[in-house]
Amino acid sequence: MESVNKTMTNLRLKTMAAAACMRKKARDFFIRPRYVSGITVIELVLILVIIIALLLIFKTQLINLINTIFDKITSESSGI
């Protein structure tokens, strides 16, 4: 009977220790400051603005380049 009580006591202690550890990890997860690495929203917006501005500036040159490429592709594919 004593060994059962000792086993139950050890089990309770281990369960309490595990619960305390889990509470600490959960608290640390929600409280600790998070440092975001990588690209933030502001950086993405700035990159998109720059890309759109470049597209608008070089619109005619890009259209001419794409048309030339497609004309070359169609002429080479049909001229067997």
Per-residue pLDDT of the chain (80 residues; tens, 9 = 90+): 778 788 888 888 888 888 888 888 888 877 877 666 677 888 999 999 999 999 999 999 999 999 999 999 998 887 55
- Domain limits at 69? 37-80
Amino acid identity of residue 44, one-letter, is L
Answer yes or no: are the C-beta atoms of 55 and 62 closer than 8 Å.
Answer: yes
Same domain flag for 26 and 47 = no
Q: DSSP secondary structure string, 13-67?
A: HHHHHHHHHHHHHHHHHHHS-----S--HHHHHHHHHHHHHHHHHTHHHHHHHHH
DSSP state of 2: H
Asked if residue 78 and residue 47 are part of one domain, the reply reads yes
Shared domain for 2 and 26, answered yes or no, is: yes
pLDDT of amino acid 34: 67
Same domain assignment for residues 8 and 46: no
The pLDDT score that the predictor gives to residue 47 is 95
pLDDT given at position 56: 95
**Do 30 and 41 lie in a common domain?**
no
Question: Angle, nearest 10°, between helix axes 59-78 and 41-57?
Answer: 70
Assess whether 46 and 18 both reside in one domain.
Answer: no
Residue 59 is predicted with a pLDDT of 95
Question: Do residue 11 and residue 43 come from a single domain?
Answer: no
